[in-house]
Amino acid sequence: MGCRRSSELDRVLATTSFLIDDATGALIESDIFFNSAFPWSVAENGESGRFDVQSIALHEIGHMSGLGHSALGETELRESGGRRVIASEAVMFPIAFAAGSIAGRTPRADDIAGMSDLYPDGDFGQLGSISGRVTKDGRPLFGAHVVAFDPASGALVGNFTLNAQGQFSIDGLSAGPHILRVEPLDDADIDSFFESTRTVDLEFRVTYANRLIVVPRRGDSGPVDIEVARK
Amino acid sequence: MTRHLVCSFFLGRAPRVSCLALTLGLTGPPALAQSSSAGVGRFEISAGIIRVGQASFGGRDAEETAGTGTGRFRLFSSSTELTAVSGFGARFGVTLMRSLDAEISGTYGTSDLRSRIEADAETSNAPIVVMVPVQQFTIEGAAVWYPGVPRAGSRTRFFVKGGAGLERHLEDRGSRVVEGRMFEMGGGVKYTFASRSRGWWRGLGARLDALALVHAHAVAVDDRAHASPAVGASVYLKF
């Protein structure tokens, strides 16, 4: 972990790189660099106009641990280019909170579910999941962002449809009824989530599953089919 | 008058009550054998229908942390309720004292857990409602107190009731089973269609209950206790 001035990366606060043994898949080395072209702070309560090292480090350590980006956030385009975060509910959202904020120091439900899925402990086995399929005009939709909302706890946990069949699975959910919401991936650059060779359809409207989805303890909801409508 | 004289030959409580019933039967409205409704140790079974009013679990917004790092951003709003329960039940009661019964009952009913979603930050869609079916089983014990001694010949008998029990909810046809406690307080009235002082049954009537039910846990998504009104109508047979 270190600092380096990379003025040409005018929108990159930090990055994480990996050295992986192709033969075994083992992670040999991981490096995190903070771009010192930006102002940083290690102040306990944050510092106005400076990015919080702890918040950004937590995001990068998430990558080092195997997490990808979360799409649980809302943004708007800046006139000067780039995006401004309106809101986010995941440390692993690819765009940082405004300079001075320390909100990124606290993992959210989505981060915890993702990390627990990678490194499950005893309690994780008590949780359940929702799986299903998203279609548009009857055809599978790749890259749709599916979010499960637990009305009991307020937790938001998301994932994407990740294959050619438009299937998704959201793990690490508390048992009970959930509201399921599907949205296009329009709050960050597509290549923050998927390889640039993949085509992701953004031309559909926010859609909710037509029933409450019950997550059983230690089990899956059973297949949930959601047909989204064109914009 | 003559009939009273005949009865006066008997001694003891039961014959006198029978005598009263006989007298009433011959001289007034249809007979009621008071001994059959007030006899200690007698038991009663009943079956009927129930209707429990909806229980609101309140609202909860799906929120994200605002971009400044403080404050909340509402992605959408939701409010959840358990719709009214319709079902049926059966009851077994025993008379402990002249004015006090103990009873145990079980019910089965169906309803829906329903959420209303609105105010989505990214769409102007009209509010939508999503739901999931819930089957509800309850078992409870209760004490039934009859506050006044019924007037001779009266077919109606009012009561107050309090009890506690357990409820089990099966969400989405059994995908998840949740259990909770319930408490009830209320009252009602019994109306006797027919009664007799001999034979294998002693009374036949109808009963109406009006109760306040308090549910704790079970499908309550906010994990708090909620009260619902409930009414029941049943037919009973006393032995």
The residue count of chain A comes to 231
- Whether chain A has a CB inside 8 Å of the CB on B73: the answer is yes
B219: confidence class by pLDDT, cuts 50, 70, 90: low
Q: For chain A, give the percent of residues with pLDDT over 90.
A: 81
Tokens 């049943």 locate to B234
pLDDT tens for each residue of B205-215: 999 999 999 98
Tell me whether residues B67 and A88 touch, CB distance under 8 A: yes
Q: Mutate which of A129, A214, A215, A228 to test chain B, going by most B C-beta atoms within 10 A? A: A214
* Beta strands per DSSP E along chain B: 43-52, 55-66, 72-82, 85-97, 100-118, 128-145, 156-171, 176-195, 203-217, 226-238
Q: In B, which residues are within 8 Å of A204 by CB distance? A: none
Q: Whole-angstrom Cα distance, residue B144 to residue A215?
A: 40
Q: Which domains does chain B have, with CATH numbers?
A: 1-31 (no CATH), 33-238 (2.40.160.20)
Mark out chain A residues that contact chain B at CB-CB < 8 A.
46, 72-74, 84-89, 97-98, 100-104, 108, 149, 151-152, 154, 156, 175-177, 179, 181, 183, 205-206, 208-217, 219, 221-222
Question: Which helix (DSSP H) or strand (DSSP E) does residue A57 occupy?
Answer: helix A53-64
Span A85-90, average pLDDT: 94
How close, in Å, is residue B87 to chain A by CA atoms? 22
Burial A91-105 (b: 16+ CB within 10 A, else e): bbbbbbbbbbbbbbb
Q: Note the pLDDT of residue A142.
A: 95
What sign has the CA pseudo-torsion A18, A21, A23, A24? negative
* Residue numbers in B near A214 (CB within 8 A): 132, 171-172, 175-176
Is B67 near chain A, with CB under 8 Å? yes
pLDDT tens-digit readout, A59-68: 999 999 999 9
Q: Where in chain A is the domain with CATH 2.60.40.10?
A: 126-228
Beta carbons of A74 and B132 less than 8 Å apart: no
**In this complex, how many residue pairs, one in chain A and one in chain B, have their CB atoms less than 8 Å apart?**
115
Element holding A127 (H helix, E strand): none
What pLDDT band is residue B70 in, cutting at 50, 70 and 90? Answer: confident
- With an 8 Å Cβ cutoff, are B64 and A175 in contact? no
Q: Which of A198-202, B59-63, B156-160 has the lowest mean pLDDT?
A: A198-202
Complex-level ipTM: 0.93
pLDDT of res. A197: 80
| Whole-number Å distance between alpha carbons of B219 and A152 | 10
Find which of B122, B129, B135 to mutate to test the A interface (most A CBs within 10 Å of its CB).
Answer: B122
For B82, list phi and psi in degrees, rounded to 5.
Answer: -100, 120
For the record, the structure tokens of A20 come out as: 């992986």
DSSP reduced 3-state for A110: helix
How does the average pLDDT of chain B come out, rounded? 83
Q: Considering only residues 84 to 123 of chain B, which have any Cβ-Cβ distance to chain A shorter than 8 Å?
A: 113-115, 117, 120-123
Rounded CA gap, A127 and A215, in Å?
Answer: 8
Q: CB of B189 within 8 A of CB of B157?
A: yes
Cβ of B78 within 8 Å of Cβ of A156? The answer is: no
**What are the DSSP E strand ranges found in chain A?**
2-4, 14-20, 27-35, 40-41, 51-52, 73-77, 83-88, 128-136, 139-140, 145-149, 156-160, 167-173, 176-183, 207-208, 213-215, 220-228
Q: What is the pLDDT of residue B92?
A: 97
Give the model's pLDDT for residue B150: 67
Q: What is the pLDDT of residue A117?
A: 93
Chain B: give the shortest CA distance to residue A5, in Å: 25
Q: Using a CB-CB distance cutoff of 8 angstroms, which residues of chain A are in contact with residue B83? A: none
CATH number among 2.60.40.10, 3.40.50.1970, 3.30.930.10, 3.40.50.300, domain A126-228: 2.60.40.10
- State the DSSP string of B89-106: EEEEEEEEETTEEEEEEE
The residues facing B49 across adjacent strands are B88, B233
- The CA distance from B66 to the nearest CA of chain A, in Å, is 4
pTM, full prediction = 0.85
Q: Residues A71, A158: contact at Cβ < 8 Å?
A: yes
Confidence of residue A212 (pLDDT cuts 50, 70, 90): very high
Question: B83: which 2 tokens?
Answer: 């719709």
